[in-house]
Amino acid sequence: MMKNLDLKGLGVALITPFKEDETVDYDALQQLIEYLVHNKTDYMVVLGTTAETPALTEDEKTEIIKVAVKQIRSRIPVVLGVSSNCTQSVVKQLKENDFQGIDAIMSVVPYYNKPTQEGLYQHFQAIAKASPLPLVVYNVPSRTGTNMTAETTLRIAHDFENVVAIKEASGNFAQINEIIKRKPDHFQVISGDDAIAFPIIALGGVGVISVIGNAFPREFSSMVFHALTGDNDNARKIQSHFFELIDLLFVDGSPAGIKSVLNMMGYCENKLRLPLVPVRPATYERIRAII
pLDDT tens digits for range 203-255:
999 999 999 999 999 999 999 999 999 999 999 999 999 999 999 999 999 99
What is the rounded average pLDDT of the residues 179-204?
A: 97
* Domains present along the chain, CATH in parentheses: 9-229 (3.20.20.70)
Share of the chain above pLDDT 70, in %: 99
Percent of the chain with pLDDT over 90: 98
Cβ neighbours around 44 below 10 Å, total:
27
Three-state secondary structure along the chain? Answer: CCCCCCCCEEEEECCCCECCCCCECHHHHHHHHHHHHCCCCCEEEECCHHHCHHHCCHHHHHHHHHHHHHHHCCCCCEEEECCCCCHHHHHHHHHHCCCCCCCEEEEECCCCCCCCHHHHHHHHHHHHHHCCCCEEEEECHHHHCCCCCHHHHHHHHHHCCCEEEEEECCCCHHHHHHHHHHCCCCCEEEECCHHHHHHHHHHCCCEEEECHHHCCHHHHHHHHHHHHCCCHHHHHHHHHHHHHHHHHHCCCCCCHHHHHHHHHCCCCCCCCCCCCCCCCHHHHHHHHHHC
- 228-238 residues labelled b (16+ CB within 10 A) or e (exposed): beeeeeebbeb
Mean pLDDT, residues 66-77 taken together: 98
How far is Cα 191 from Cα 183, in angstroms, rounded to an integer? 15
Question: Which pLDDT score, from 0 to 100, does residue 4 have?
Answer: 73
Per-residue pLDDT, averaged over 68-96, amounts to: 98
Q: What mean pLDDT is predicted for residues 270-287?
A: 97
Residue 137 has pLDDT above 70, yes or no: yes
pLDDT score of 105: 98
Q: How confident is the model at residue 3 (pLDDT cuts 50, 70, 90)?
A: low
8 A C-beta contact, residue 146 and residue 109: yes
Per-residue pLDDT, 58: 96
Q: What pLDDT, on the 0 to 100 scale, is given for residue 7?
A: 97
Per-residue pLDDT at 1: 39
How far apart CA 114 and CA 132 sit, in angstroms, is 27
Average pLDDT over residues 252-276: 97
Write down the mean pLDDT value for the chain: 97
Q: What are phi and psi of 13, to 5 degrees?
A: -85, 100
Which positions are annotated as active-site residues?
A: 138, 167
Give the pTM: 0.96
